[in-house]
Amino acid sequence: MDRAKHLYRRLDQLFGELPPRRTQAKMVEAFLEQAFAKLGEDLHLSAGLLYVERRDGFTLARAVGDAFDSVAEVLDPSQDPLAEIIEHRVYIFGDNAGAAGTPRQLGLLPQAPAAGLVVGQRPQRYCLLFVLVNGWEMEELDFALNTIRAALDARLVDARVRGSFREAEEIQRSLLAEEPPVYPGYEVACRSVAAEEVGGDFYDFHDLGEDILGIAIGDASGHGLPAALVVRDVVTGLRMGIEKDLKIVHVFAKLNRVIHRSRLSSRFVSVFYGELEADGNLVYVNAGHPPPILFFRDPKPGRARDQELSVGGTVVGPLPEVRFRRGFARIRTGEVLVMCTDGILERPDPSGEFFGTERLRQVVLDNRGASAQEILDRLYETVTAHGADRPWDDDATVVVVRRLEEPGPGEG
């Protein structure tokens, strides 16, 4: 998760530095130049090439990095290497151990390790080719290129639909529950504040029958319509896939494949989903989301005062195949589960210091006997004050679940 967030922050900064009101082609060209300058050393790139889709093939539009003795002016989309890249959207051609594929005659890079990605939609697609130098690692490069591909695709979509905030607002309103669910034996409180007209955060609840409540919270990187669209896909996928006898790890694996294939994917999505039984048992999957914290009622001396729910896997979207694991917890009477997004934890004060998990812990501990709604209200008040009452820089979402003092079914 930290690796993904770090890379996305650098990409967000890079996009923010690009001049506005550029055509898609000029924007991708500027992105290649800036990405090569700022990420080339870390990713072990020696050169980069941009090919733009035309009627007769993909035509070379820009070259950066080391000089070439010869450069193919046009690439045929039906032949390697472009055919491999188009099929997989990201493809690495390598000649060292562990690399996918075999050395290829690239037309311009004989026997050189290289990698490529394709973004955009027909008839406006763009192919970025990169030459690799010693030191690159397969897993790291694959993750980075898939991340770049998703981020750049999302930016292209955003450019095409800029100004469509009304549609995005309607999508978001249709997804967020107007009121928290009534679940006997528990209190549930929830709130989401968008940094812009439309945010990428969400929460959702699933009535699974037989005294089981499904709870989801997530954060799609970015804002605007692309983020709203991927949130819609995630929420819809969970609603359709989560059934009483269907394993949630399989649902997440399938959801990851769907989001990865989506051209409207807004970078990545972190998701926490748990199924809470009336007796307090909680089965969950944490896909790269800030770990929810379960606050124990009466921690014994020398024992932990809370439990972070972190078991699961990586964020949804960047990689085509990801495995997830189930985590288990138990909410006893008087205990509180707090779920939130990065907008809460990473809200800075005027000096730039984040609010952080320790301050969140303190707010909950100071209000241990309060209701779920009171804990949520106090948390927002404290986080807002930490940021000196300035506007939110990121979407901020919180879900609080408190088990009532009265014993629930199955617990005496």
pLDDT of residue 260: 85
The percent helix, strand, coil of the chain (3-state, each to 5) is 35, 25, 40
* Mean pLDDT of all residues in 253-260: 87
* Mean pLDDT of all residues in 318-324: 89
Contact at 8 Å (CB) between 176 and 146?
A: no
Provide DSSP, 169-199: HHHHHHHS-SSPPP-TTEEEEEEEE-SSSS-
CA-CA-CA-CA torsion sign (78, 44, 48, 28): positive
pLDDT higher than 90, residue 147: no
Where does CATH 3.30.450.40 sit in the chain? 2-160
For residue 101, name the pLDDT band (cuts at 50, 70, 90): very low
Amino acid at 344: I
Residue 409 preceded by cis peptide, ω within 30:
no
For residue 12, name the pLDDT band (cuts at 50, 70, 90): confident
Where does CATH 3.60.40.10 sit in the chain? 168-403
Domain 168-403 has CATH 3.60.40.10: yes
Fold designation for 2-160: Beta-Lactamase (3.30.450)
Helical axes 24-43 vs 2-17, angle rounded to 10°? 140
For residue 224, name the pLDDT band (cuts at 50, 70, 90): low
Prediction pTM value? 0.62
Alpha carbons 131 and 146: distance in angstroms, whole number: 16
Class of residue 343 by CB neighbours under 10 A (exposed 0-12, middle 13-18, buried 19+): buried
